[in-house]
């Protein structure tokens, strides 16, 4: 599909990357599935190929005679919303509890900001899940992004399996997750371009979430054959150095002609046999468990998708500890804001669940608060101002219950209504047409 390649299957431990793709994206809706991606280059050209990896647990699908069938629709959208590419396929497989089906497809992409929208539909009952993955595609020079896998098998002769690369079938870890001790090995596939006749030096590493080194291999030398336009490299890395559950990174560095290329790929490791990095006691007497619900307010979409997928408190506490490990002062400030946000609690919601509490935790204490009590023709409202970034928020108590809702903000992505000034009128008070 990407032209002629030469493949190296090495038994060295290997680190990995895919700096542009991050952790797997988790779906929302009735069906749960995972999407991951990697960008490669068509051999002999500058054209970029986006490989899309899908993993869906079979047990959630309706079975008909022991079989399940589902349809996947993948749409690549430009930053302006234009459709760039569409892929659709139907999968049918045996229903087995605990099993996941892994699929792959390829789309031609251009450098730039794009969105990959994927929908999976259970063809037996119409239940559906959807996922949107933001991509920042960059032009590739000498090295591709990396595909991380948990299974590699020899390919059957004449096989047209879309997961095939050379004489191997590589099953990507599309959920970015490895469960120890069972999945103690990660496999990494990457490609290098235009390096025929050169000798590469490579080192790979496993680190924890803060970048602390857990395992590193000595530098090894790879000789690229003369005339090779694209060379596929497959390697493996032991994950046994991960003693606790949580976010980790695979890294690989290549040195060629004096230049160093470095790639990183985040993965989630769940270690049942190791320690779980239990709650760290904070100033004030509370533990990490006190603020596990509030932490997602600070996480990136990729971090949040992994955090939401953690099944128990111990795993979330491990994630929490790792997240703050290298920034204790920021942690102390965050936890103080969580406690202070309790002042915004209502009869129905805890402080962090309210709009004011969420903004307080996420953006910190406002530099100025202008409070306007109930007046004729105007509901109670507050205007919060932050000097840094010129941020402004307006919250209105529309029904007089003390639940202030956010109606305006200068922060991109935050709730902001075009008619927010009209919303200052309390229930039961009319507003004129020229307000």
- Higher per-residue confidence, 59 vs 46: 59
Angle made by CA atoms 327, 330, 335, in degrees to the nearest 5: 125
- Higher per-residue confidence, 390 vs 211: 390
pLDDT at 2: 42
Which band of pLDDT confidence, cut at 50, 70 and 90, is reported for residue 375? low
Average pLDDT across the chain, whole number? 82
Closest C-alpha to 391, from 350, 419, 362: 362
Residue ranges per structural domain of the chain: 1-17+150-161+173-273, 21-137, 288-343, 366-424
**What are the tens digits of pLDDT across the range 392-425?**
999 998 776 678 999 999 999 999 999 898 888 7
Which band of pLDDT confidence, cut at 50, 70 and 90, is reported for residue 289? low
Which band of pLDDT confidence, cut at 50, 70 and 90, is reported for residue 58? very high
**What are the tens digits of pLDDT across the range 78-118?**
999 999 999 999 999 999 888 889 999 999 999 999 999 99
Q: Which of 78-87, 134-143, 262-271, 396-405 has the largest mean confidence? A: 78-87
Flag the least confident range among 92-106, 289-303, 366-380.
Answer: 366-380
* CATH C-level class of 21-137: mainly beta
Other C-beta atoms lying within 10 Å of the C-beta of residue 153: 12
pLDDT at 235: 82
- Give the fold, CATH level 3, of 1-17+150-161+173-273: Immunoglobulin-like (2.60.40)
Average pLDDT over residues 291-301: 91
Average pLDDT over residues 259-271: 87
Q: Render 137-200 in DSSP notation, one character per residue.
A: E---SSB---EEEEEEEEPPTT---TTEETTEEEEE-TT-EEEETTT-EEEEEEEEES-TT-EE
Which band of pLDDT confidence, cut at 50, 70 and 90, is reported for residue 426? low
Residues recorded for the chain: 435
With tokens 């769940």, the residue in question is 270
- Higher per-residue confidence, 317 vs 348: 317
Q: How far apart are CA 152 and CA 167, in angstroms?
A: 10
Q: Could you check whether 1-17+150-161+173-273 and 21-137 share the same CATH topology?
A: yes
């Amino acid at each position: 599909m990407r032209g002629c390649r030469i493949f190296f299957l090495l038994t060295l431990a290997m680190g990995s990357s895919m700096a542009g793709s991050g952790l797997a994206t988790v779906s929302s809706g009735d069906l749960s599935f995972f999407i991951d991606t990697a960008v490669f280059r068509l051999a002999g050209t500058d054209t970029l190929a986006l490989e899309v990896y899908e993993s869906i647990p079979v047990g959630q699908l309706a079975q008909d005679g022991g079989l399940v069938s589902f349809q996947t629709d993948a749409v690549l959208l430009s930053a302006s919303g234009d459709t760039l590419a569409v892929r659709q396929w139907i999968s049918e497989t045996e229903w087995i509890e605990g099993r996941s089906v892994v699929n792959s497809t390829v789309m031609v992409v251009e450098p730039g900001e794009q969105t990959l929208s994927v929908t999976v539909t259970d063809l037996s009952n119409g239940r559906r899940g959807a996922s949107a993955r933001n991509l920042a595609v960059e032009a590739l020079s000498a090295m591709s992004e990396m595909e991380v896998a948990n299974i590699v098998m020899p390919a059957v002769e004449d096989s047209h399996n879309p997961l095939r690369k050379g004489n191997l079938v590589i099953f990507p870890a599309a959920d970015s997750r490895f469960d120890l001790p069972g999945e103690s090995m990660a496999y990494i596939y990457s490609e290098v371009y235009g390096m025929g006749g050169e000798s590469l030096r490579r080192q790979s590493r496993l680190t924890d979430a803060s970048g602390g080194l857990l395992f590193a291999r000595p530098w090894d030398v790879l000789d690229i054959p003369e005339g090779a336009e694209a060379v596929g490299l497959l390697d493996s890395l032991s994950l046994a150095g991960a003693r606790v559950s949580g976010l980790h990174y695979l890294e690989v560095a290549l040195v060629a002609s004096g230049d160093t290329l470095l790639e990183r790929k985040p993965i989630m490791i769940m270690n049942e046999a190791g320690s779980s990095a239990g709650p760290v006691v904070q100033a004030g007497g509370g533990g990490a468990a006190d603020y596990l619900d509030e932490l997602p307010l600070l996480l990136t979409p990729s971090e949040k998708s992994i955090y939401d997928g953690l099944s128990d408190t111990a795993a979330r506490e491990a994630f929490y500890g790792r997240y703050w490990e290298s920034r204790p002062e920021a942690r102390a400030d965050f936890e103080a804001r969580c406690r202070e946000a309790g002042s915004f609690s209502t009869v129905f919601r805890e402080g962090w669940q309210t709009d004011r509490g969420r903004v307080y935790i996420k953006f910190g204490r406002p530099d100025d608060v202008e409070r306007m009590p109930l007046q004729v023709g105007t509901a109670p409202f507050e205007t919060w101002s932050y000097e840094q970034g010129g941020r402004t928020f307006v919250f209105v108590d529309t029904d007089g219950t003390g639940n202030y809702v956010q109606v305006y903000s200068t922060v991109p992505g935050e709730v902001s209504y075009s008619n927010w000034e009209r919303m200052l009128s309390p229930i039961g008070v009319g507003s004129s047409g020229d307000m």
